Amino acid sequence: MGYYIKKEDVEDLVVGAAILGTGGGGDPYVGKLMVLQSLERGEKIELLDIESIEDNSFVVPVAAMGTPVVLIEKVPSGKEALYSLNLIEEFYKKKVDYISPIEAGGINSTIPLVVGAKRKIPVIDADGMGRAFPELQMVTFHIHGVSATPMAISDERGNASILSTIDNYWAEKIARAITVKFGGSAWIAIYATYGSLYKKACVKGSISLAIEIGKTIRTARQSGKNIIDALLDVTKGYYLFSGKIVDVSRFNIGGFARGEAKIEGLDDYKGSTLIIRFQNENLVAIRDNEVIATVPDLITIFDKETVKPITTERLRYGLRVIVIGIPCNEKWRNEKGLEVVGPKYFGYNVEYIPLEKRIRNFN
């Protein structure tokens, strides 16, 4: 038997998920509302350690797909996410034993909890990223050879599709086109696999890590401690910059929210400028023309006043911010991982250097 999620865990989880979301993954407050409604209806959410998962069990990650901005405008009722899971069960003619998050960031850390609550299926305390990423093949499941398809994709109207593609990049391509036609957001059940392979392929403990991060911040806030210090402590992160946003440019293309924020330094960083480039998530941080952090390491922006993480769609001129970096999961730090989520995949001609090494060189 696993751990049953409590109301205060949800508050902590969405704070931690927003930080691991590294600017992307959708508005965490939409997800929080959905989980709290589940708990208020008396539904139970069981969180299971991966050690409890049987090798021959059927594990199915579920998620929302699309441009986070659209999810803010079309708040989901919670039922939408069930449809794709049900389709997978029909297609495989098999009951799902465990649900998994695909990412540990933003709304997709809470969607699986809502689905698990409604369907009375335990949720595994793990995910496929240890953070948020913008594309479907950007998961540790992919680099461990799990097929994204047969996958299910559906919308809130009742439109749905089962996809079967020759590789996971094609799954991304076709599912993205469908998501755009659905109006910008869709619900997916993807990377269905067996417990044995899942255990090898996942990033362990990411839900409980998100909760722990949230709790650390809450405790620091309550006891008047420095919140950022406490956060860097628990995440083994680095303080990268503080300043004022002086420009944000963005464009919505092919179902992604892309853009760039320019931050002028304040306090210790006066005279410096930080540029952050994003595609749903923050991808690259450039300080005075020098790269100081890149994907797959995490770059998270906080509102300096409230010390709350800010998603890329909420970045705006005049906001005073703190930027931190967090080392990514080790599963990404190898040739295969970097091929899938390294800076070059995103179009930046920069070698990946682990954040902690960049910082050492820089300071």
Choose between 195 and 255: whose C-beta lies nearer to a copy of itself.
255
State the CB neighbour count (10 A cutoff) for residue 223.
Answer: 8
Residue 193 CB, nearest approach to a copy of itself (Å):
20
Stretch in the footprint of a copy of itself (CB under 8 A) among 29-37, 176-184, 263-271, 274-282? 176-184
Length of the chain: 363
Minimum separation from the CB atom of position 171 to a copy of itself (A): 9
As a whole number of angstroms, the distance between CA 94 and CA 210 comes to: 31
Indicate the residue among 57 and 84 with the shorter CB distance to a copy of itself. 84
Q: Three-state SS for 20?
A: helix
Q: Return the residues of window 134-173 that contact a copy of itself according to CB under 8 A.
A: 157-166, 170, 173
Q: Is 95 in the site for a copy of itself (CB under 8 A)?
A: no
Candidates 177, 229, 247, 360: give the one binding a copy of itself (CB under 8 A): 177
Q: Which amino acid is at 274?
A: L
> Closer CB to a copy of itself, residue 165 or residue 252?
165
Tokens in use for 304? 């300096």
Single-letter residue type at 48? L
Q: Which is nearer to a copy of itself, 173 or 308 (CB)?
A: 173
C-alpha to C-alpha distance for 328 and 293, rounded to whole angstroms: 11
The torsion defined by the Cα of 45, 47, 48 and 50, in degrees rounded to 10, comes to 130
Which is nearer to a copy of itself, 1 or 166 (by Cβ)?
166
Shortest Å, Cβ 313 to a copy of itself: 24
Cβ closest to a copy of itself, residue 90 vs residue 288: 90
- Minimum CB–partner distance for residue 178 and a copy of itself (Å): 6
User: Cα–Cα distances in Å, from 160 out to 77, 139, 152, 204?
Assistant: 17, 23, 7, 31
* Residue among 95 and 157 whose Cβ is closer to a copy of itself: 157
Q: How far is the CB of 280 from a copy of itself (least distance, A)?
A: 20
Q: Which of residues 178-217 bind a copy of itself (CB under 8 A)?
A: 178, 180-181
Residues contacting 182, CB < 8 A, separation 6+: 66, 155, 157, 159
User: CA angle 42-45-46, nearest 5°?
Assistant: 140
DSSP codes joined into one string, 239-264: EEEEEEEEEEEEEEETTEEEEEEEEE
Does residue 253 belong to the site contacting a copy of itself (CB under 8 A)? no
**Which parts of this chain interact with a copy of itself (CB under 8 A)?**
157-166, 170, 173-174, 177-178, 180-181
